[in-house]
């Protein structure tokens, strides 16, 4: 099939490359000419395991190419995936839909009868129905569907090629049949294909992210109670996670969530519920957001205590800049929020990350950066472990102790082995684990 993908950011690039790898002919569209040029050479706009190899393979095969012309895209295929961003509006927390609206309008200007526009962007419930009404008025015979993405950064290629489920919101049996054909290899392999209406498809994405955010903030709230009572949050999380009704996933106590999805999506969901007169139904999401933000403040306070009460003129080493491992995404990164807070309180901060240094340097020029862990930790008065990259668990504490000024470490992600670090002479603190102190 001939597909187009409008928007070649994180979601769009992964979707375009994976659809081409499945055998479709794909045309990716972006207004950024430099990005289009880089993609045409097989260079992705972000770090994602496995993406570069697929991109090079599909570009070289001729099944995937890129353009800046949405008119060309409208003529190229009959199924058009909209993968543009929906950032948060600063004043209200609601989603900014202008990029989605512009993409659909741009397609409509050149779309032929029978064209299907498929939204993958995360939007407030009701958006798809409104866009469908406008599209069908402009192009009789066209249709619109919604197909939310459920990608985990660091696992996006796997999640696209072997998803846990496919959700499509459609208005016609023809649209459902078209999407079944697009995803035929996955459906044949047994991936559940859930066909529903537009509103339910939109809500599946928002509800999923809200539930995941709730689990993360729940265990972090429990970590505060653990600190007040002397309990251990890791044992608590293991015990409640063994209940089959709860499960262990997303019960990892630590610095909280960040990135481009969970924070903005729960705020946008809250804003939309209030517009619908049902704000009380999701009022708890404001508390979820507050708990998550408070984790960053707790980490800053704990680091300050390790320094004797002040960051002024102290050297702080930060391990991690990306909001999660296996990504170079720094959007709403808890790690960088803590690093920036320490710098603003008078510390000299040096940050290391395996993939995100360039992005972090551009966004936080006042911070210092290092390309290896040892350099980042030279003469440090405290080391802050803020992103759970696996290579940080492999650090030799005894060797690192020889380069720091004071062997103090905050494990804000609760993934380091405290026994090993303490045996090497380190003072280790971890959120929700007061017995380590």
| End-to-end CA separation in angstroms for the chain | 60
Instruction: State yes or no: 258 annotated in a binding site.
Output: yes
- Count of Cβ atoms closer than 10 Å to residue 229 Cβ: 8
Instruction: State yes or no: 122 annotated in a binding site.
Output: yes
Instruction: State yes or no: 252 annotated in a binding site.
Output: yes
Instruction: State yes or no: 254 annotated in a binding site.
Output: yes
Instruction: State yes or no: 86 annotated in a binding site.
Output: yes
Instruction: State yes or no: 336 annotated in a binding site.
Output: no
Output b/e per residue, 168-181; b: 16+ Cβ within 10 A: bbbbeeebbebbee
Rounded to whole angstroms, the Cα distance separating 253 from 233 reads 7
Instruction: State yes or no: 284 annotated in a binding site.
Output: no
Instruction: State yes or no: 375 annotated in a binding site.
Output: no
Residue 219 token pair:
């265990």
Active-site annotation holds for 261: yes
Instruction: State yes or no: 253 annotated in a binding site.
Output: yes
Among residues 226, 261, 302, 377, which one is catalytic? 261
What does the H/E/C string look like for the chain?
A: CEEEEECCCHHHHHHHHHHHHCCCEEEEECCCHHHHHHHHCCCCCCCCCCHHHHHHHHHHHCCEEEECCHHHHHHHCCEEEECCCCCECCCCCCECCHHHHHHHHHHHCCCCCCCEEEECCCCCCCHHHHHHHHHHHHCCCCEEEECCCCCCCCCHHHHHHCCCCEEEECCCHHHHHHHHHHCHHHHHCCCCEEEECHHHHHHHHHHHHHHHHHHHHHHHHHHHHHHHHCCCHHHHHHHHHCCCCCCCCCCCCCCCCCCCCHHHHHHHHHHHHHHCCCHHHHCHHHHHHHHHHHHHHHHHHHHHHHCCCCCCCCEEEEECCCCCCCCCCCCCCHHHHHHHHHHHCCCEEEEECCCCHHHHHHHCCCCEEECCHHHHHCCCCEEEECCCCHHHHCCCHHHHHCCCCCCEEEECCCCCCHHHHHHCCCEEEECCCHHHC
Instruction: State yes or no: 45 annotated in a binding site.
Output: no
Instruction: State yes or no: 153 annotated in a binding site.
Output: yes
Instruction: State yes or no: 283 annotated in a binding site.
Output: no
Catalytic center residues: 261
Q: Can you say which residues are annotated as belonging to the binding site for NAD(+)?
A: 30, 35, 86, 122, 153, 264, 331
Summarize the annotated binding site for substrate as residue ranges.
150-153, 205, 250-254, 258, 324
Output the known binding site.
30, 35, 86, 122, 150-153, 205, 250-254, 258, 264, 324, 331
């Amino acid at each position: 099939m001939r597909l187009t993908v409008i928007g070649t950011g994180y979601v769009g690039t992964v979707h375009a490359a994976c659809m081409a790898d499945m055998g479709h002919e794909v045309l990716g569209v972006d207004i950024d000419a430099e990005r289009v040029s880089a993609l045409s050479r097989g260079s992705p706009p972000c770090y994602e395991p496995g993406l570069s190899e697929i991109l090079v393979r599909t570009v070289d095969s001729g099944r995937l190419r890129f353009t800046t012309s949405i008119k060309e895209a409208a003529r190229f295929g009959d199924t058009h995936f909209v993968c543009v961003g929906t950032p948060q509006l600063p004043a209200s927390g609601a989603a900014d839909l202008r990029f989605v609206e512009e993409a659909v309008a741009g397609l409509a200007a050149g779309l032929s009868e029978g064209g299907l526009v498929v939204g993958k962007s995360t939007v407030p419930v009701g958006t798809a129905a409104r866009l469908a009404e406008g599209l069908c008025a402009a192009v009789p015979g066209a249709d619109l569907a919604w197909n939310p993405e459920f990608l985990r950064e660091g696992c996006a290629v796997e999640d696209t090629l072997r998803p846990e489920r496919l959700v499509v919101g459609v208005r016609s049996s023809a649209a459902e049949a078209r999407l079944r054909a697009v995803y035929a290899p996955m459906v044949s392999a047994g991936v559940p294909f859930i066909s529903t209406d537009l509103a339910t498809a939109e809500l599946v994405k928002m509800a999923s992210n809200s539930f995941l955010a709730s689990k993360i903030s729940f265990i972090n709230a429990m970590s505060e109670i653990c600190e007040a009572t002397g309990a251990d949050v890791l044992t608590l999380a293991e015990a409640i996670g063994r209940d089959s009704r709860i499960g262990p996933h997303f019960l990892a106590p630590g610095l909280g969530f960040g990135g481009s999805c969970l924070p903005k999506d729960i705020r946008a969901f809250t804003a939309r519920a209030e517009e619908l007169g049902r704000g009380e139904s999701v009022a708890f999401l404001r508390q979820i957001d507050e708990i998550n933000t408070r984790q960053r403040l707790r980490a800053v306070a704990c680091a300050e205590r390790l320094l004797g009460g002040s960051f002024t003129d102290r050297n702080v080493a930060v391990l991690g800049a990306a909001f999660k491992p296996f990504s170079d995404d720094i959007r709403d990164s808890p790690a960088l929020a803590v690093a920036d807070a320490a710098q603003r309180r008078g510390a000299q901060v040096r940050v290391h990350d395996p993939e995100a240094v360039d992005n972090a340097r551009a966004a936080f020029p006042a911070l210092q950066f290092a390309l290896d862990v040892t350099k980042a930790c030279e003469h440090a008065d405290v080391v802050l472990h803020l992103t759970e990259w696996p290579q940080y668990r492999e650090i030799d504490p005894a060797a690192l102790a020889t380069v720091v000024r004071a062997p103090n470490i905050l494990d804000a992600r609760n993934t380091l082995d405290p026994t090993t670090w303490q045996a090497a002479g380190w003072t280790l603190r971890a959120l929700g684990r007061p017995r380590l102190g």
